[in-house]
Amino acid sequence: MKLLPADIRALLPALYAQSECSDAIVYVKFFNPNSDWTWYVTEFDGEDLFFGLVQGFEEELGYFSLSELQEYRGALGIGIERDLHFKPTPLSQLRRCQN
């Protein structure tokens, strides 16, 4: 599966486009089927760099790269996948930790 097809890539806001929003919209969900790690994308630089919510051992907002997600292979040889049924969702609805 292509992690970021052209039609989805075109929908993503540029980096910092939602920086002034009180509740940014998440457009894409990536996940590791072998663990609890999930990456939620709110913005994209158009090339490789995402900004969004990462839920793993901890939960944090930060940057992550498309190339690293594409290259990853877990112990079973399975890579990161995109949730094909994910709909754009306010970030506040996805946070485990409320500040």
Asked if the model's pLDDT at residue 99 lies above 60, the reply is no
Nearest to 1 by CA among 64, 62, 83: 83
| The predicted structure's pLDDT at residue 98 | 63
Asked if the model's pLDDT at residue 96 lies above 90, the reply is no
Q: Which of 4 and 74 is assigned the larger pLDDT?
A: 4
Asked if the model's pLDDT at residue 97 lies above 80, the reply is no
| The predicted structure's pLDDT at residue 76 | 86
Note the pLDDT tens digit of each residue in 37-94: 999 999 999 999 999 999 999 999 999 999 999 999 988 899 999 999 999 999 999 9
Q: Is 55 exposed, middle or buried (0-12, 13-18, 19+ CB in 10 A)?
A: middle
